[in-house]
Structure 1
Amino acid sequence: MSNKKILMIVGDYVEDYEAMVPYQMLQMVGHQVDTVCPDKSAGDSVATAIHDFEGDQTYSEKPGHRFAVTANFADVDAATYDALVIPGGRAPEYLRMNADVLKIVQHFDSASKPIAAICHGAQILAAAGVLKDRQCSCYPAVSFEVTAGGGTYIEPAVTMDSAHVQGNLVTAPAWPAHPAWMRAFIDLLAE
Structure 2
Amino acid sequence: MNILMITGDYVEDYENMVPFQALKACGYEVDAVCPNKVKGDTIATSIHDFEGDQTYSEKRGHNFALNANFADVDVAKYDGLYLPGGRAPEYLRLNARVIEIIQAFEAAHKPIASICHGPQLLTAANVIHGKRVSAYPACEPEVRLAGADYISLEMDQAITDGNLVTAPAWPAHPEFLKQFMALLAAR
Displacement, 1:130?
A: 0.3
Deviant stretches of 4+, over 4 Å:
none
Deviation at 1:109, TM superposition (A): 0.5
SS at match of 1:120: coil
Is 1:145 equivalent to 2:138 in the alignment? no
Deviation at 1:156, TM superposition (A): 1.1
Task: Measure, in 2, the Cα distance between the counterparts of 1:68 and 1:163.
Answer: 27
Residues in 2 aligned to 1:100 and 1:67: alpha-carbon distance in whole angstroms: 22
- 1:116 aligned partner, one-letter code: A
Q: 1:128: which partner in 2?
A: 125
Counterpart residue number, 1:39: 36
CA distance in 1, matches of 2:112, 2:93: 16
| Count of equivalent residues | 186
Provide the residue aligned with 1:166 in structure 2.
161
In structure 2, C-alpha distance between the alignment counterparts of 1:180 and 1:150, rounded to whole Å: 25
* TM-score normalized by the length of structure 2: 0.99
Aligned equivalent of 1:101: 98
Q: Where does structure 1 lack aligned partners over 5 or more consecutive residues?
A: none
Q: What pairs with 1:1-191 in structure 2 (closer than 5 Å)?
A: 4-157=1-154, 160-191=155-186
The CA deviation at 1:70 is 0.7
- How many Å apart are 1:138 and its aligned residue? 0.3
1:55 & 1:72 partners in 2: Cα distance?
Answer: 39
Structure 1 vs Structure 2 CA RMSD:
0.5
Question: TM-score, normalised on structure 1?
Answer: 0.97
**Rounded Cα–Cα distance in structure 2 between residues aligned with 1:103 and 1:148:** 20
Letter of the 1:138 counterpart: A
Gaps of 5+ in 2: none
How far apart, in 2, do the equivalents of 1:179 and 1:96 lie? 26
Structure 1 distance, partners of 2:185, 2:128, is 24
Q: Determine what percentage of the aligned residue pairs are the same residue.
A: 62
1:79 Cα deviation after fit? 1.3
